[in-house]
Amino acid sequence: MKSDLIIAYRLLRKKFRSGIFSTEFYQAFSYVEEKAFFKNLIFGVLRKQEYLDWVINSLLKKKDIPPSIRTILRIGTYQLLFTNKPSYSIVNETVELVEKKSFKGLVNAILRKISKIGYTEPKELYLKYSHPKWLIEYWKKFLPLDYIYKILEYNQYPLKTTARVNKRKIDRDKLKIENIFPTPHSPVGIYFEKIEENPWKLDKYINGYITYQSESSQIIPLLVDFEKDELVFDACAAPGGKATHILELCDVNLVINDVEKQKIKILENQFKRLNLRPKKILNFDAQKITLKDKFDKIFIDAPCSSLGIARRNPEVLRRQKKENFKKLSEIQINIISNLWKYLKKHGIMIYSTCTVTIEENTNTVKKWKPFAEFVDIRERLEKFGIKYVWDGYGTLFYPDEILTPFYVSILRKIKE
C-alpha cells in the first residue's frame, strides 16, 4: 500500500506540473498491488480538487505552498474525508511522503485538524461539486439549470465500462459474460457492473464479439439509415468505434481517415479483430485532405475540448481554458468546409463532439444554415430514451448513469 501511495503521489505531481497525464500514468496500473485503491485515490483527488483545496486553504496561514506539498495534502485530505481508512494510518503514511523535513510538521498538523473536523458542506456550487468556477458560470449562459446540475452530479462518479456487441456475430441477449447488463439506450450496448480482469484480454473482446465504446458514441451511427454499397467517409476515425460500428450495421463502401499516424495501426488492428474491411484507410489532416470521390455520408467526430468525458478523465476540467473553445471551433469549421465539397448533393454530414461548449457545437454548425437542412433527430432520440437539449441545429445529450454528454448535428446538403 505504501508503494502504491508513492506511485500515486508521483503521478499526481506529474499531472499537475504538465497539465495532462502521460502514458506512464496508465502503465502504472500494472505495477500497483491494490488497483481499486490506487485508481480511486488518483481519480478521487482529481474529481475533488476544488473542494480539497478549499478545505486545505481554510487551515493554512500562507496559501502559497510548494506544489509537491499541496499534492500531498490533497492525497491525505481526500483519504480522510472520502475513504474508510483509519485516520491515524492516513496521517502517518501521508506525512512519510514529505521529503523536506521543514514541511513534515505542517502536513501533520493540517491533516490532524482535518481528521477532527471531518467533512464540511460548502455553500458554493463550484466547491460542492468540485468544478472550476469559471466553467459553471460559462455553462449558465447557454444551458438549462437542470442540465448543469446533472453534469455536475454525474461527474462526481466514475463511469462504468461499456461495450458494443457485434451484431454480425451474436445477439446481445445471447452474449455470456459475467457481470454485464444491457445499456439503457443503445440496443447493441452492454455495461460491466464490475470488471475484475484485464478488459483487453477478455476472450469475447479478442474474438470480436464486443468493442469497448461509450454508449453515447454507439448512438451516433444509429441516427442515420445506411444503404448497401453507398460511399461513406469517416474523417476522424481513430480509435475506430464509429467506423467499425458502421460496417457492423451495413456493407457500405467505407473510407476512413485519421490525422495521427500512430493511430492508423490501432484502426487497422480493430478492423482485423472484427474481420471487417474498409475500402481504404487514409492518414491526412481532415482540414486539408483531397478526396477523389463524392460521398453519400460523411462522419466528423471532431477534435474538441472533451468536457463531456470528464467522468472518465476528470483532469480535462482543469486542463481546458475558455480560449481553447474558439481555437477548436476554427479547426472544426475548417474540417467541415473542406469536406463539404466532397459531400454529394442531398448527402448528409453527421457532426459530433464529446464536449459541452456553445462555440464547438451550436456556433460551429449554424454557419452552414445557408447551405444545409438540419435533420430533426429528436423523435429518433426519444425512441432510444435519450433526453436532450435541442438548439435548432442539433442535440446535446443529457448525462445519466451510463450516457455521457455528446452533441450531434446532421446536415443535409442543399447547396455547395
Q: Where are the domains of the chain?
A: 2-120, 162-212, 219-413
Q: Within 10 Å of residue 67's Cβ, how many Cβ atoms?
A: 11
What pLDDT is recorded for position 15? 58
Q: Which active-site residues does the annotation give?
A: 354
| Residue 208 · residue 240 · CB < 8 Å | no
Fold matches, 2-120 and 219-413 = no
d(CA 179, CA 161) in angstroms, rounded, equals: 11
What pLDDT, on a 0 to 100 scale, did the predictor assign at position 407? 98
Which residues define the annotated binding site for S-adenosyl-L-methionine? 236-242, 258, 285, 301
Instruction: Quote the pLDDT of residue 21.
Output: 47
**pLDDT score for 28:** 57
Model's pTM, two decimal places? 0.92
The dihedral built from the CA positions of residue 171, 187, 314 and 45, taken in this order, carries a sign that is: negative
Q: What is the pLDDT along the chain (416 residues), one digit of tens a residue?
A: 557 788 788 778 775 544 444 455 556 555 555 677 777 888 899 999 999 999 999 999 988 899 999 999 999 999 999 999 999 999 999 999 999 889 999 999 999 999 999 999 999 999 999 999 999 999 999 999 999 999 999 999 989 999 999 999 999 999 999 999 999 999 999 999 988 777 888 999 999 999 999 999 999 999 999 999 999 999 999 999 999 999 999 999 999 999 999 999 999 999 999 999 999 999 999 999 999 999 999 999 999 999 999 998 888 998 899 999 999 999 999 999 999 999 999 999 999 999 999 999 999 999 999 999 999 999 999 999 999 999 999 999 999 999 999 999 999 999 99
C-alpha closest to that of 349 among 335, 329, 363: 335
- Longest CA span, the chain: 71
Fold of 219-413: Rossmann fold (3.40.50)
Q: Does residue 187 have a cis peptide bond before it, meaning omega lies within 30 degrees of 0?
A: no
- For residue range 72-91, list pLDDT tens digits in order: 999 999 999 999 999 999 99
Residue positions forming the annotated binding site: 236-242, 258, 285, 301
C-beta of residue 322 within 8 angstroms of C-beta of residue 134: yes
Strand-strand pairing, 343-353 and 372-374? unpaired
3-class SS string, the chain: CHHHHHHHHHHHHHHHHHCCCCHHHHHHHHCCCCHHHHHHHHHHHHHCHHHHHHHHHCCCCCCCCCHHHHHHHHHHHHHHHHCCCCHHHHHHHHHHCCCCHHHHHHHHHHHHHHHHHCCCCCCCHHHHCCCCHHHHHHHCCCCCHHHHHHHHHHCCCCCCCEEEECCCCCCHHHCCCCCEEECCCCCCEEEECCCCCCHHHCHHHHCCCEEECCHHHHHHHHHCCCCCCCEEEECCCCCCHHHHHHHHHCCCEEEEECCCHHHHHHHHHHHHHHCCCCCEEECCCCCCCCCCCCEEEEEEECCCCCHHHCCCCCCHHHHCCHHHHHHHHHHHHHHHHHHHCCEEEEEEEEEEECCCCCCCCHHHHHHHCCCEEECCCHHHHHHCCCCEEECCCCEEECCCCCCCCCEEEEEEECCC
**Among 68, 59, 62, 40, residue whose Cα is nearest residue 116:** 59
Structural contact between residues 129 and 155, judged by C-beta atoms closer than 8 angstroms: yes
Q: At what angle do helices 2-18 and 35-47 cross, to 10 degrees?
A: 30
Residue 413 has a pLDDT of 98
Residue 20 is predicted with a pLDDT of 45
User: What is the model's pLDDT at position 27?
Assistant: 60
| Backbone CA torsion sign across 120, 121, 125, 128 | positive
Alpha-carbon distance of 224 to 126, in angstroms, equals 38
The per-residue pLDDT for 38 is: 77
CATH for the stretch 2-120: 1.10.940.10
